[in-house]
Structure 1
Amino acid sequence: MKEQRRARAIAMTPAEVDAFLAEERTCRVATVGRGGPHATPLWFVWHDGALWLTSLSRSQRFTDLQNDPRIAIVVDAGEDYDELRGVELRGRAEVVGEVPRTGEPVPELDGPEQAFADRYTGGTIARDGRHAWLRVVPEKITSWDFRKIGS
């Protein structure tokens, strides 16, 4: 993975990145298609060093990623300037499991599906036959925590 070169003084440590991604609930996903960039909010889980997304398999985002798997994801928080913090992850999205997801046994998905269910659906895994799982193992992580300014 590429090391962050800029703003290292306010960068989060790997442990802080893990804690932040475990705490926040919504990310913004950017893909590139024929019509240019496409950005959408999604729920996610950070599990075993990868960011896991579930996407409608008939969405523009999914189509974009089938043609070009490059992806950028931002998770951020804070209201006032001195509270702003966030993480940008860049990498390639990889489909894991069947498309759409209906419940075929896929051991790689056991952890992410349960973590997603625990976080968003009260522990019940929902497979609606319309979504598919995407795994993004970051090639680069950039982070910032403005609370560190002046420390």
Structure 2
Amino acid sequence: MTRSWLTGPTPTRKLPRDRIEERILNLLGSQNMCVLATTGADGPLATPVRFYAHEFTVMFTASPKSPKMRNLAADPRVSIGVFAPLVGLASSRGAQLFGTARVLEPGDPDRERYWPSFRWENEHAERGRSLAEPPADSLVVVEPERIVYTEHWLRRDGYAPRQFWRRSA
């Protein structure tokens, strides 16, 4: 046994709000891939997506004709899974975000709030596009209403490995 603190009953103690927020922001700021879950006429769709975070908001661009965008047009409610690489139970760390996706087109005044956090230059460089011209793609933003955060390392300090956050605390 390498981590005795993983044995025994699972703690139920909640982290203070500021500490859970810090952990969630750390996860969102240190990862760039998520799984976006949408629902459409053909049922559920889980899509790997490269994302960027602006505080608790997750954002990405997508082709308007993609299945995920068709699904979002029909039902903008989403679930997003973000996780860190796993090397064992003790390293398990991730979050499920639940919210409503908004599609912000170029010229939408709300877009300016998020755009500085979107690192479009990386993708443009990969595609050989000019860095002088920002993309005109739709920007999808999801401001989660609630987040379920999981981190088994919290057990070591007597906290529940699953913590719950709501936008309106």
Q: Which runs of 5+ in 2 are unaligned?
A: 1-10, 126-130, 158-169
> Is 1:14 paired with 2:21?
yes
In the TM superposition, residue 75 of structure 1 has moved relative to its aligned partner by 0.2
**What is the SS of the residue equivalent to 2:118?**
helix
1:135 correspondence with 2:141:
yes
* TM-score, length basis structure 1: 0.77
Let me know the Cα RMSD of the aligned residues: 2.6
CA drift at 1:150: 3.1
The CA deviation at 1:76 is 0.5
* Aligned equivalents of 1:44, 1:132: Cα separation in 2: 13
| Unaligned stretches of 5+ residues in structure 1 | 1-6, 99-104
Q: How does 1:101-120 map to 2 (within 5 A)?
A: 105-110=107-112, 112-117=114-119, 120=122
Q: Is the 8 A contact 1:22 1:46 kept in 2?
A: yes
Query: Which protein has the larger Cα radius of gyration, Structure 1 or Structure 2?
Result: 2
* In 1, Cα distance between equivalents of 2:150 and 2:53: 18
Gap change, CA 1:26 and 1:120, over 3 Å in 2: farther
Structure 1 CA distance for aligned equivalents of residues 66 and 124 of structure 2: 25
User: Is 1:10–1:149's contact at 8 Å kept on the other side of the alignment?
Assistant: no
Q: Does 1:45 align with 2:43?
A: no
Match of 1:60 among 34, 55, 67: 67
Q: 2 CA distance for matches of 1:149 and 1:13?
A: 14
Shift of 1:85: 0.4
1:51·1:136 contact (CA, 8 Å) conserved in 2? yes
2:117 partner amino acid: A
Deviations 1:6-48 (A, max 9, x none): x864877111111110111101000001111101111111114
Change (3 A) 1:59 1:122: closer
- Give identity over the alignment, percent: 24
Aligned with 1:26 (options 14, 25, 33): 33
The alignment's TM-score, normalised by the length of structure 2, stands at 0.70
Per-residue CA deviation, residues 34-63 of structure 1 (Å, 9 max, x unaligned), is 111101111111114321121111100000
Deviation for aligned residue 1:70 = 0.7
Higher relative contact order (CA closer than 8 Å, sequence separation 6+): 1
Query: In structure 2, what is the equivalent of residue 71 of structure 1?
Result: 78
Q: Is the 8 A contact 1:45 1:112 kept in 2?
A: no
How many residues are treated as equivalent by the alignment? Answer: 137
TM-aligned CA distance change 1:50 to 1:8, over 3 Å: farther
* Residues 75/8 of structure 1: CA separation in 2 closer, same or farther (3 Å cut): farther
Aligned: 1:91 with 2:93: no
Kept in 2, the 8 Å contact 1:10–1:145? The answer is no
Find the residue that maps to 2:119 and give its secondary structure.
helix
CA contact (8 A) 1:74 1:89 kept: yes
Superposed CA deviations along residues 107-149 of structure 1, whole A, max 9, x for unmatched, are 433453342226844894641x5x4211111111110111122
